[in-house]
């Protein structure tokens, strides 16, 4: 079995696949990311998740990991190895390029976050090129793959929850609200007005940025939304053509498959 792990600043997403060529994960989880976690802490969590799913930990034979938290990359890699001795493929632009999955003319590929690389790998494989990815996480990342299949770059903006937290922290008369779609764009209470501004505002921001991307590219392209908040935001974004919350994990699975075959 394959374990794919996407370590973000706020959440860590995991997918357990039946094998390297499985087209979807058997199980997925989303955990809060704790940057202070030691190897033993992570190992306990992993064993509980995997064995709680009824899987013998020794059956996890390979793993692929993307991390935007450098302090956790080695700890998670060691914890996965300790789980059952599985080798871990760490996603980078260089590793994906060596596996034949990622091409770019980006001036400094080392700057490209591992999650963005994995998104680009999966999006190009599943939706062709050109394609645009919108990843709703701690940051809202937009990745652009051109018609020539090259990763061109993109946009990094504050994420939905990041912006909402700042609003709640600095606006003393506005209490925190749960993030769900408002009934109408014109809010008739403070809570509904905030939901409109936060959720519909994010959708409108994405639409505006994507339209500017299309203008620069000179043509339109499929737009794939991913990340934990994609199902909440994407239905309100007019430019989004597909939603795949586990796109990053799929990119990691493909990296593990290519690395195994190399």
pTM score: 0.91
Q: Is the predicted pLDDT of residue 204 greater than 90, yes or no?
A: yes
Whether 5 contacts 14, CB under 8 Å: yes
DSSP β-bridge partners for residue 89: 64
The domains of the chain are located at 2-90, 128-249
Domain 2-90 has CATH 3.30.430.20: no
Query: Which residue is catalytic, options 6, 37, 56, 115?
Result: 115
Query: Beta 139-145 vs 151-158: how paired, if at all?
Result: antiparallel
Coil/strand/helix, residue 14: strand
Query: Residue 174's pLDDT is what?
Result: 58
Q: Is the predicted pLDDT of residue 171 greater than 80, yes or no?
A: no
Residue 37 annotated to the active site: no
pLDDT in tens, 132-163: 999 998 899 999 999 999 999 999 999 887 77
Coil/strand/helix, residue 188: coil
Query: Residue 134's pLDDT is what?
Result: 98
Of the candidate CATH numbers 2.40.110.10, 3.30.365.10, 3.30.420.40, 1.10.3720.10, the domain formed by 128-249 belongs to 3.30.420.40
Question: Which residues are CB-contacts of 169 (< 8 A; sequence separation ≥ 6)?
Answer: none
């Amino acid at each position: 079995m394959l374990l794919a792990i996407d370590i973000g600043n706020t959440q860590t997403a995991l997918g357990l696949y039946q094998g390297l060529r499985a087209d979807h994960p058997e199980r997925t989880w989303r955990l809060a990311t704790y940057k202070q976690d030691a190897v033993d802490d992570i190992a306990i969590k992993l064993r509980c998740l995997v064995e709680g799913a009824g899987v013998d930990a020794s059956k996890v034979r390979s793993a692929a990991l993307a991390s935007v938290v450098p302090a956790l990359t080695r700890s998670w890699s060691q914890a996965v190895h300790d789980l059952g001795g599985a080798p871990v493929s760490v996603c980078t632009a260089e590793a994906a390029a060596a596996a034949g999955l990622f091409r770019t003319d980006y001036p400094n590929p080392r700057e490209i976050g591992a999650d963005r690389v994995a998104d680009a790998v999966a999006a190009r494989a599943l939706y062709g090129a050109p394609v645009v990815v919108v990843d709703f996480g701690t940051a809202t990342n937009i990745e652009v793959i051109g018609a020539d299949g090259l990763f061109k770059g993109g946009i990094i903006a504050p994420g939905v929850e990041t912006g909402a937290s700042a609003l709640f922290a600095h606006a003393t008369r506005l209490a925190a609200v749960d993030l769900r779609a408002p009934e109408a764009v014109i809010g008739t209470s403070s809570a509904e007005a905030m939901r409109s501004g936060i959720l519909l505002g994010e959708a409108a921001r994405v639409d505006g940025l994507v339209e500017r991307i299309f203008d620069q590219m000179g043509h339109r392209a499929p737009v794939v939304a991913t990340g934990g908040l994609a199902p909440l935001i994407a239905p309100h974004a007019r430019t989004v053509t597909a939603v795949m919350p586990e796109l990053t994990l799929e990119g990691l699975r493909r990296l593990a498959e290519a690395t195994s075959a190399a």
